[in-house]
Amino acid sequence: MANKSFYEKGIRFECQGTGKCCTSRGEYGFVYLTLQDRKRFALFFKLSLSDFTKAYCEKKDGHYHLKNLSDDCLFLKDAKCTTYEARPEQCRTWPFWPEVLNTKTWNAEVVGYCAGVGKGKLYSAKEIEDILKSQKE
Ligand code: SF4
């Protein structure tokens, strides 16, 4: 659960393109897809929604996610996302996920492998809250 006091002064983040967040790690092993995500991917691949879903998705507990064919996301090639412009919300909103925005999880799960933390743009508390809110919609 996000802790407001953790991000009230804002957080600097700019993706450094390492691809590390696209690799399965424990509980963060799935790339979940909203309907909007599947529609964006379908357009990207020039497929119908149903063909994209059949080819690339599986369902777990009622939620679609990209098929897990290996430890890496199936769209990760040479540490780069091959579908970057069509990447899903889950990827767009990293690292502003409710479950990691607290000191304990941030230090244990994010700082160590995400090279983008502490770099680039300073996201204000308001911007972070807007990103958190967008994940509930
Ligand atoms: S869709 Fe792209 S950005 Fe998202 S996990 Fe897969 S390779 Fe990474």
Q: Could you read off the pLDDT tens digit of each residue along the chain, which spans 137 residues? A: 788 899 999 999 999 988 888 987 666 678 999 999 999 999 999 999 999 999 999 998 899 999 987 788 999 999 889 999 999 999 999 999 999 999 999 999 899 889 999 999 999 999 999 999 988 76
Q: Pocket around ligand 1: residues whose beta carbon is below 6 Å from it?
A: 22, 31, 73, 75-76, 81, 83, 87, 91
Question: How is residue 102 annotated by DSSP?
Answer: S
Our mutation pick for probing the ligand 1 site, out of 73, 74, 82, counting the most ligand atoms within 8 A of Cβ, is 73
Reported pTM: 0.87
Task: State the alpha helices, DSSP H only, in the chain.
Answer: 4-7, 35-45, 49-56, 89-93, 103-105, 125-134
Radius of gyration of the chain (CA): 15
Q: Nearest 5°: phi and psi at 119?
A: -115, 155
